[in-house]
Amino acid sequence: MRNYNLSFIRNEDLFNHVKETILKYRFKITLKEFNKNLIDPIKLTFDSKVYGKTIEEIIESESIRQMDKTNSNNIGYFQQNIFRYIYHKDTKQTKWSVPRQGFDIVNETDKIYVEMKNKHNTMNSSSSQKTYMRMSSKINNESKATCMLVEVIAKKSQNIPWQISLDGESISHDKIRRVSIDKFYELVTGEKEGFKQLVEALPKVMDDVLEDIQQNGIKNSVFQELQEIDSNMLKSLYLLSFKRYEGFDSINI
């Protein structure tokens, strides 16, 4: 196996975790899946005309968009569960776990409890308040506890008290932290640029995994199945949604 030269995770563990994440990806889409949430052919017609794309190109974009919704969840799985394998570069000990419920990531040794979000603007005010109050309850019940909101895509590199507005009042606590992912990796691994090093290694790991599983490209049967309805792709979309409407059995579009 290739050496990915990371001081805080074994090559095998990184490879297998990336492989597990990739295998969760959607590699195919059928017409039934494509129309699961009821495609709006009028919108697709607007998109085609306004953006100067063929209806085939618009269908391909919509197919990828639908698959991407599932794949985004898989990236969350990758970001969270990798901490089951990460250890401090000096001690080589893994203190972190990923519970089935409760906090996303936990270090029971050092009493650190983490909620992880992909983007800094993911939570609305109500969700932020609820999360903050849960963290507040944790530090009140455990005197040695520290809680962290870790953001993969934060506004900037930071490890600061999380400040929120609650009932019109700005509140914060030194043991409830708002932490960017690079600072969290530094805390966990002891490597100041640990997150950067992981990001640099990932394309190589992905290439190795894709070669191992021999996966290449997307299987999209939407076009073939639409052509079975009618050779006119746009007409097929309208028949898919409106075939039971008056006059649509002879639509000319």
**Per-residue confidence in pLDDT tens, the chain, 253 aa:** 899 999 999 999 999 999 999 998 888 899 999 998 889 999 999 999 999 999 999 999 999 988 888 788 889 899 999 999 999 999 998 999 999 999 999 999 999 999 999 887 777 888 999 999 999 999 999 999 999 999 999 999 999 999 998 878 889 999 999 999 999 999 999 999 999 999 999 999 999 999 998 866 778 899 899 999 999 999 999 999 998 899 998 888 8
Task: List the structure tokens of 99.
Answer: 């519970």
Q: CA-to-CA distance for 81 and 106, rounded, in angstroms? A: 11
Residues 6+ positions from 194 with CB-CB distance below 8 Å? 6, 8, 89, 182, 185, 186, 188
Q: CA-to-CA distance for 234 and 239, rounded, in angstroms? A: 9
Domain boundaries, the chain: 11-82+212-250, 93-189
The pLDDT value given to residue 73: 80
Pairing assessment for the beta strands 105-107 and 164-166 based on DSSP bridges: unpaired
The pLDDT value given to residue 68: 87
DSSP of 177-237 = EEEEHHHHHHHHHS-TTHHHHHHHHHHHHHHHHHHHHT--S-EE-HHHHHHHH-SSHHHHH
Q: CA-to-CA distance for 181 and 154, rounded, in angstroms? A: 8
Taking the mean position of all CA atoms in its chain, how far away is CA 86? 19
Q: Which residue has the tokens 């919704």?
A: 69
Backbone angles phi, psi at 115, to 5 degrees: -105, 130
Alpha-carbon torsion (167, 169, 170, 171), positive or negative: negative
Pairing assessment for the beta strands 219-220 and 28-29 based on DSSP bridges: parallel
Nearest Cα to Cα of residue 196 among 183, 205, 178 = 183
